[in-house]
A and B are shown apart, each in its own frame.
Chain A
Amino acid sequence: MKENQKTYWKGIEQLKNDPEFVKKNEGEFPEYLPINEQSSEANGRRDFLKLMGFGIAAASLAACEAPVRKAIPYLNKPVDVDPSVPNYYASTYVNGGDAVSVVVKTREGRPIKVEGNKYSSVFKGCTSSHVEASVLSLYDKERLVGPTKGGAEVDWNTLDKEVTAQLGKIAASGGQIRIVSNTVLSPTTKKAIEEFKAKYPTTQHVAYDQVSAYGITKANEASFGQAIVPSYDFSKAKTIVGVAADFLGTWFSHVEFNRQYAETRRISAEHREMSRHFQFETNLSLTGANADYRTPVKPSQVGGVVAAIYNGIAKLAGQASVSSSFKASDVQYLDKAIKELWANRGKSLLVSGSNDSAVQILVNGINQMLGNYGTTIDLAQPMLYRQGNDMAMNTFAKDLSAGRIGGVIFFNCNPVYDSAEGAAIAKGLAKASLTVSTSDRMDETAAAVTYVAPDHHYLEQWNDVEVKPGKFSMVQPTIAPLFKTRQAPESFLKWAGQTVEYYTYLQNNWKETFFAQQSVTSDFQTFWDKTLFDGVFEVAVEARDVTYSAEPVAQAANSIAQNYKVQGQGLELALYEKVGLGNGTMANNPWLQELSDPISKATWDNYLTISMAYANELGIEMVDGETELVTLTVGGNSVEVPVLIQPGQADGTVGLAIGYGRTSAGKVGNGVGVNAYPFITKLNGANTMDVLAGVSVEKTGKKYKLAQTQTHQTYMERENVIQEATLPEYKKDTAAGRWSPKIYKEGEYIKPSKITLWSGHEYNNHHWALTIDMNTCTGCSACVVACQAENNIPVVGKEEVLNRREMAWLRIDRYYSAANPAGNKKELEEASANPEVTFQPMMCQHCNNAPCETVCPVAATTHSTEGLNQMTYNRCIGTRYCANNCPYKVRRFNWFKYHDNTQFDKNLSMNNDLGKMVLNPDVTVRARGVMEKCSMCVQRIQAGKLQAKKEGRKVKDGDIEMACASACSTDAMVFGDLNDPNSKISKLLKVEEKEPGVKATDRVINEDRAYHVLEELNVNPNVWYMTKIRNKDKQEA
């Protein structure tokens, strides 16, 4: 009956069937709950009496008089602000070299939610977890409230006077001045820096990126004479090969790539085609998890893999090959990848995340031979996200250490922490006479400089951003500056002796430069207003003539032969960025810290990822997050770091995430994990995240607990949860991979829905439902943070995650699967060597026959006439029967009061007045002792319905979107009304129109891929999943 013979598991312990783990999962709660310790018998009676006494006293006090509450209206109400009515402003999320066009929702003048801007042709309304979380950083209590000198507050006038005087002095004596920053995307800010440079001619602007792309720009300079990173268009690619490039998780504009990638993965009965994705990588990345064929390779093989592809393609193209000892047959699937790249030439794409220019020169050569330039790669529209220059940064650090720099201004960057030269810079700073930072907080760098001139948060400032030539996006303030901060470019102008406000400066620049580039309107004000309203301004740029030169290829191949090995000896370290925390600039954002990593499912930590085989070699066992600390030593640097056994990790390698180990990020980010930036080394003149030699790991014997959420609320033997097929199977049968359970009754097998105790619901007005396409869901986790922001979900902290009390309403379950079950150690190693991965976002399924509703003794959870399973907090008495009876384990219990509670001070959005400004006023902040869960964003449904009623019309499809669905870059989630035959979801599910009076449970869905998780229970959810289709020739792995 069951077609799928794979073994699925969520964590190593499940695969091992560890007896302790099985025992834990049998009970309702993993362990005896410490919360009950207080009520031992000796105290029971007294506590009861105390409580009763308090209760009576409280009740009688409450009866006396209600407190006087004030209603304070505006003194002068702004015309556009109506209390309770949200306003939306187009703006742009900017963080270093990352930018995304967004729309900011404000309530009573407070930004509370960030969503994607659909007007942008680059981002098309997509967001990431960082974008969604950025609004909380605005209300971070750790931000500086004004300028400081030597750590003490000063006023702007004093600071300006002193800084200007010292700059003048340095310039007069011919001393060197440096402005150090991450990539600056704003053309007007760059102009302001130019003005500064004009005033102080000894100034140089040094840009660096935490994760550098300098090698890629150098390679393009060699191949095409242009130091750029071209644009990629995955949507046009039929064969995608990624070599150590996490383009769906962290690489460049992954927001954009997610959308493009998903377009090639969206299939239907009418369109039974999808791209094939090969991935060769060390750590199991989000991108690798989505690949059809993935091969773990060591970092020292990356160059060889690319060289082998080059030679393979060159042979097919009849061109000269390069000298390389690598053969395509050395690496699994490499031959296949080469053949398919060639077969789909012009419609294929090879990307590599390597920052070694030699590797990238070969990558350029391969794409050139494949004819991908002009189709999947666009040199005329380079991506401007990474403009850092590693050599310049290195020179700066040396100059600073040598005392050759008179003054340095760190413009919104933190190189002491997040650059490879951090230690040198920290030491060298004392030798410069003037040190300034524009950081928004006392971070590692700001703490080491004399003056801090804090910049606005991006939601407080005016600016422009150019993500690609001709693709502009505006930054518009959505709130008046909360503190006495000043926009950094305005500071530059001021220090350059100009008194103009930056807003005026920006407007003037646009009047002079970009206004002239358009012909739509001749009135500048109209142009300006329209640009701000749209949030984007896009002009066509001329295609530049580019000629490819194959000349550097031979030299690059030689360099590869020198630096890379076919079979590397010894341990190698691959540093990586985590999808959640990224490069660590937002380390003080608890939403990102608690976001469980889509792959490892760990929160609040970084860790050394090691393979199962290596763990066995070291003798490290990992059960339920309990692991050991090891000492990782690279050259002279060593850190003590916990180990995480990561299926799919290449043998002989370990992985470690950057972005952790902050010491001055703030209360939330400080002391979480270890700092991996010092391990960054140089290869061919550019920073590399791969350490190819000199890595050693030693056991310490110390125990450590990692807060992983994965194995929480899981049960085994549920193959019916993930339903998947391969593309050839799907082409033959659109129902391939579907598992339709049958129940035995009176001599025959029938569908589970045929036997029911339920009378069913009729939905006459709306029938809200959600579909999740597991084929386009890449696991990027933007939805998880969006849900957290929209629904006031508390952050509980590492301790409580360890206690399995995380509160996320929406989790992304990650399943590993392998062809064979794992009975012994050897089989276990094999199974976890390179498993397949499936992501499944899981939230309340809004069952039509909801098991939670029947067991609630106080009817706190009930069914609505629109298909929603409603949770009423004020009625809940906390029996937790519902959570117990929920087969999907999506209900969350408030074990504690998470708001106004010093014990949960990491829950920034609820524990101080500033943080509370981010709360969604339409959603209750839940009290202790009540159950909560996904409400299908009922506040948005109600608001959308009300708007329709006010306008006297029906609800249009798209009027209402759940927070998760609107955050989804890949449109994997589609929300809508099944009663509306024209809605996207009705068409997607091929819903048959329902006559009035027909029960919702009898509704006919004709889409073969759509299924209910745990269909045999006949709980009949309103959330539909679509089978995962892998583009593999046959079932394997």
Chain B
Amino acid sequence: MIKTTNYMLAKRIIVRFAAACLFVCCFVFSGVQAYAQRDAVPTDEAIIAEGEKLFSEWACNTCHRVDQKLVGPALKGVYDRRSIDWIYQFVQNSQRLIASGDAQANAIYEEFGGLQMPSHDLTDDQVLSIMAYVRHTEENPPAAAAATDTAGDGTQVAAEGGIPSKYLNIIIGALIVVLVLILIVLGLIIGVLKKYLQDKADLDEEDQEVVNEKFDLMAFVKSPTVIGIITFLVIVLAAKNVIDGLYTVGVQQGYQPTQPIAFSHKIHAGQYEIDCQYCHTGVEIGKNANIPSVNICMNCHSAIKTDSPEIQKLYAAQESGEPIEWVRIHNLPDLAYFNHSQHVNVGGIACQTCHGEIQEMEVVKQHAPLTMGWCIDCHRNTSLNTKGNGYYDKLVELHNSNAATPMKVTDIGGLECAKCHY
């Protein structure tokens, strides 16, 4: 365990170091050919917001980061390195620019292993607004970047209520010590009293017998009361185990099968922060989130890590025409209807709520039990995301006139059978 962590740490350091080196290179490069058109990039907030929207809409972050080289170069300071006009042309149609023999374009093309930036149907103003967003991010780097790693643990602790188990153990330990002490004291008292009685001479025969009676362990064990109590306990414990066991039938929480391709969410979703929807295209539109098809993988892997044996499996699949048979991890029974778009698109629920810290998972495992109790629990406790949704207007108004707490899923029939079973 420690070994892997160390390894990962080392790997991360190396990656960071490499990135840093590249930055240096970039700076050196930019030093040679500085356009310094930074001031041409607007700082107007509306334009920045527009740029941010475009940046995510066009999924720029799939290949680019502001301050990190990914599939494509880091965008930081691009306006210092190139002319704005050049940027327009390159973003809109890099192929044409490369074909025209532009030296910078060709240099980039070769630097990134002959991987071409696809054409984007963006206007000059739109490209400029993306630049504005890049400049804004560069000049105001997000402060909490380092803090995100630990955020996961914090939520876990907060979720548990009542006395922390640590204190509970101490209390129980203290109680046991007290009980043992009491037992010792009682034993001592018995010994003293016995000795006192034995020393007394005027005891008659019967009393003598009582005082000197030997404790017969066997007789005690064989007594019906003890047998009865033990049998009862055994049956109760066994029954509890059986019942508990039956409740877990079909529950696959923690299920972590080996997949045909060692795909790492940690690298893709964690390290490279690729949006979940980039691959799971159905999550906002339909019932299924969709396991990505090979052509989505090929968007990047037609050029990235082409010689990795795992990536080679993608090429093999494409060549043979046989789809990849992933092992299904989340198995809802057929009788339950679940729709991703209802929860993600309408409800605004993060993927992690049900799937756990997926961006940390090297191999995906089932985070939630996916039992009906778990579903119901959430429907009881979750407030509805009704903001700006005309569908809920009347319901919210009605609810607020009667209740003080926010409207939960259960308040609008979220626990009804036919919400999920039909």
Interface residues in B28-69 by Cβ distance below 8 A to A read none
Tell me if B326 and A83 are in contact (CB < 8 A).
no
Residue of A nearest to B346 (CB): A949
In the complex, whether B413 has a CB less than 8 A from a CB of chain A is: yes
In-complex Cβ contact of A76 among B295, B326, B418, B422 (8 A): B295
In the complex, whether A33 has a CB less than 8 A from a CB of chain B is: no
Instruction: Report the stretch among A60-68, A295-303, A726-734, A903-911 that lies at the interface.
Output: A60-68
Given the interface pairs A923-B422, A949-B342, A954-B390, the reply to whether A83 lies near B290 with Cβ below 8 Å is yes
Instruction: Report the stretch among A231-239, A751-759, A866-874 that lies at the interface.
Output: A866-874
Residue of B nearest to A85 (CB): B286
Tell me if B416 and A996 are in contact (CB < 8 A).
no
Tell me if B390 and A924 are in contact (CB < 8 A).
no
In the complex, whether B143 has a CB less than 8 A from a CB of chain A is: no
Tell me if B341 and A946 are in contact (CB < 8 A).
yes
A996 to B401, CA, bound (A): 11
In-complex Cβ contact of B250 among A62, A925, A942 (8 A): A62
Q: Specify which of B245, B331, B334, B418 lies most central, judged by the most chain A CB atoms within 10 Å of its CB.
A: B418
Shortest CB distance B409–A (Å): 12
Interface residues in B327-347 by Cβ distance below 8 A to A read 327-328, 331, 333-335, 337, 339, 341-342, 345-346
Shortest CB distance B163–A (Å): 34
Tell me if A84 and B286 are in contact (CB < 8 A).
yes
Tell me if A924 and B335 are in contact (CB < 8 A).
yes
In the complex, whether A864 has a CB less than 8 A from a CB of chain B is: yes
In the complex, whether A75 has a CB less than 8 A from a CB of chain B is: yes
Shortest CB distance B291–A (Å): 4
A764 to B393, CA, bound (A): 12
Q: B188 — which chain A residues lie within 8 A by C-beta?
A: none
Shortest CB distance B268–A (Å): 16
Q: B235 — which chain A residues lie within 8 A by C-beta?
A: none
Q: B331 — which chain A residues lie within 8 A by C-beta?
A: 66, 69
Tell me if B422 and A950 are in contact (CB < 8 A).
no
Q: Specify which of B317, B341, B395 lies most central, judged by the most chain A CB atoms within 10 Å of its CB.
A: B341
On chain B, which size bracket covers the interface?
Answer: 35 or more
Contact with B along A38-71 (1 / 0, CB 8 A): 0000000000000000000001001100101111
In the complex, whether B178 has a CB less than 8 A from a CB of chain A is: no
Shortest CB distance A930–B (Å): 10
In the complex, whether A82 has a CB less than 8 A from a CB of chain B is: yes
In the complex, whether B356 has a CB less than 8 A from a CB of chain A is: no
Shortest CB distance A219–B (Å): 53
A596 to B393, CA, bound (A): 46
In-complex Cβ contact of A73 among B292, B341, B392 (8 A): B292
Shortest CB distance A66–B (Å): 6
In the complex, whether A865 has a CB less than 8 A from a CB of chain B is: yes
Q: A544 — which chain B residues lie within 8 A by C-beta?
A: none
A952 to B393, CA, bound (A): 10
In-complex Cβ contact of B295 among A70, A75, A83 (8 A): A75
Shortest CB distance A132–B (Å): 21
Residue of A nearest to B321 (CB): A75
Tell me if B323 and A874 are in contact (CB < 8 A).
no
Q: Specify which of B255, B331, B422 lies most central, judged by the most chain A CB atoms within 10 Å of its CB.
A: B422
Shortest CB distance A109–B (Å): 14
In-complex Cβ contact of B249 among A62, A860, A872 (8 A): A62
Tell me if B323 and A73 are in contact (CB < 8 A).
yes
Tell me if B325 and A70 are in contact (CB < 8 A).
yes
Tell me if A865 and B416 are in contact (CB < 8 A).
yes
Given the interface pairs A68-B327, A764-B395, the reply to whether A75 lies near B422 with Cβ below 8 Å is no
Q: A77 — which chain B residues lie within 8 A by C-beta?
A: 281, 290, 293, 295-296
Q: B346 — which chain A residues lie within 8 A by C-beta?
A: 946, 949-950
Interface residues in B383-422 by Cβ distance below 8 A to A read 388-395, 398, 412-413, 416-419, 421-422
Interface residues in B173-222 by Cβ distance below 8 A to A read none
Shortest CB distance B296–A (Å): 7
In the complex, whether A713 has a CB less than 8 A from a CB of chain B is: no
Given the interface pairs A72-B325, A872-B417, A935-B422, the reply to whether A865 lies near B412 with Cβ below 8 Å is yes
Tell me if B326 and A70 are in contact (CB < 8 A).
yes
Q: B318 — which chain A residues lie within 8 A by C-beta?
A: 75
Tell me if A82 and B285 are in contact (CB < 8 A).
yes
Interface size of A in residues (CB-CB distance below 8 Å): 50
Q: B285 — which chain A residues lie within 8 A by C-beta?
A: 82, 85
A72 to B326, CA, bound (A): 6
Shortest CB distance B345–A (Å): 6
Residue of A nearest to B294 (CB): A75
Shortest CB distance B91–A (Å): 23
Tell me if A870 and B327 are in contact (CB < 8 A).
no
A63 to B389, CA, bound (A): 44
A567 to B325, CA, bound (A): 76
Residue of B nearest to A866 (CB): B413
Q: B391 — which chain A residues lie within 8 A by C-beta?
A: 945, 948-949, 952-955
Given the interface pairs A74-B293, A864-B413, A870-B418, the reply to whether A946 lies near B252 with Cβ below 8 Å is no
In the complex, whether B287 has a CB less than 8 A from a CB of chain A is: yes
A954 to B394, CA, bound (A): 9
Interface residues in A186-207 by Cβ distance below 8 A to B read none
Contact with A along B269-283 (1 / 0, CB 8 A): 000000000000110
Q: A925 — which chain B residues lie within 8 A by C-beta?
A: 334
Interface residues in A939-972 by Cβ distance below 8 A to B read 939, 942, 945-946, 948-950, 952-955
Q: A939 — which chain B residues lie within 8 A by C-beta?
A: 337, 422
In the complex, whether B257 has a CB less than 8 A from a CB of chain A is: yes
Q: B288 — which chain A residues lie within 8 A by C-beta?
A: 83-84
Contact with A along B58-85 (1 / 0, CB 8 A): 0000000000000000000000000000
Q: A68 — which chain B residues lie within 8 A by C-beta?
A: 257, 327-328
In the complex, whether B160 has a CB less than 8 A from a CB of chain A is: no
In-complex Cβ contact of A764 among B246, B250, B398 (8 A): B398
Residue of B nearest to A865 (CB): B413
Interface residues in A841-879 by Cβ distance below 8 A to B read 860, 862, 864-866, 868, 870-875
In the complex, whether A1037 has a CB less than 8 A from a CB of chain B is: no
Tell me if B282 and A924 are in contact (CB < 8 A).
no
A949 to B292, CA, bound (A): 26
A942 to B417, CA, bound (A): 12
Give 3 nearest A-B pairs by CB, closest first: A84-B287, A870-B418, A84-B286
Q: List 29 A-B contacts (CB under 8 A).
A: A63-B245, A66-B255, A68-B327, A69-B328, A69-B331, A70-B328, A71-B327, A72-B325, A73-B290, A77-B290, A83-B288, A84-B286, A85-B285, A862-B417, A866-B413, A870-B417, A870-B418, A872-B417, A874-B333, A874-B421, A875-B421, A922-B337, A925-B334, A935-B418, A939-B422, A942-B419, A952-B388, A954-B390, A954-B391
Interface positions of A (Cβ within 8 A of B): 59, 62-63, 66, 68-77, 82-85, 764-765, 860, 862, 864-866, 868, 870-875, 922-925, 935, 938-939, 942, 945-946, 948-950, 952-955, 996
Known: A73-B294, A82-B285. 14 other contacts (CB 8 A): A62-B250, A66-B250, A75-B294, A75-B321, A84-B339, A765-B413, A874-B335, A925-B334, A935-B422, A938-B418, A949-B389, A950-B346, A952-B389, A953-B390
